[in-house]
């Protein structure tokens, strides 16, 4: 487990990122939250972080990003040896079966449909983040085999 729990939230909506930040605070979790608004920025963030710090405890990925689909991001992430074992939760408004199937097929560890109310979001964020940052075990660091 990393020294300090952290989450990378990839969502192209600044409003959704702020709601998540508020829900995390309301759930009283001491977890560092990093946000990126597209897949390229997220991959750049991970590459820069890899030089000095542990990877995030979990990546929360909006499935319908403006510039890149979630499956494209997951395919790139999973093909990179150093990032391949970072847990990814698709955290999206889409409850479409084909999106769920594609998420898991692309390497998502979980698929969560965003709750409809703020109170439900606080509850969801609390449970989800506690699981991925406190109880899930991931091998760090993962070195590339290339």
- Is residue 141 scored above 60 in pLDDT? no
Q: Report how far residue 115's alpha carbon sits from residue 50's, in angstroms, rounded to the nearest whole number.
A: 32
Class of domain 6-135: alpha beta
Domain edges within the chain: 6-135
Strand ranges for 37-109 from DSSP E: 58-61, 88-92
Confidence of residue 28 (pLDDT cuts 50, 70, 90): very high
What is the model's pTM?
A: 0.90
Helix pair 70-79, 39-50: axis angle to 10 deg:
20
**Is the pLDDT confidence value at 144 over 50?**
no
Query: Sheet of 88-92: strands edge to edge?
Result: 32-36, 6-10, 58-61, 88-92, 110-113
pLDDT at 145 (0 to 100): 36
pLDDT recorded at residue 63:
95
Kindly report, residue by residue over 39-82, the tens digit of the pLDDT.
999 999 999 887 778 889 999 999 999 888 899 999 999 998 88
Interatomic CA distance for residues 133 and 5, integer angstroms? 6
The predicted-structure confidence for 99-140, as pLDDT tens digits, reads as follows 999 999 999 999 999 999 999 999 999 999 999 998 888 775
């Amino acid at each position: 487990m990393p020294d300090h729990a952290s989450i990378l939230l990839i969502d192209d909506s600044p409003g959704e990122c702020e709601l998540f930040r508020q829900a995390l605070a309301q759930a009283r979790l001491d977890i560092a939250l990093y946000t990126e608004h597209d897949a390229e920025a997220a991959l750049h963030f991970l590459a820069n972080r890899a030089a000095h710090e542990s990877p995030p405890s979990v990546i929360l990925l909006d499935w319908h990003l403006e510039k890149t689909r979630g499956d494209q991001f997951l395919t790139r992430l999973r093909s990179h040896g150093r990032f391949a074992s970072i847990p990814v939760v698709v955290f999206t408004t889409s409850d479409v079966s084909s999106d769920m199937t594609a998420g898991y097929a692309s390497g998502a560890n979980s698929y969560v449909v965003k709750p409809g109310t703020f109170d439900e979001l606080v509850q969801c964020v609390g449970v989800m983040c506690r699981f991925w940052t406190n109880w899930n075990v991931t091998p760090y660091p993962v070195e590339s085999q290339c």
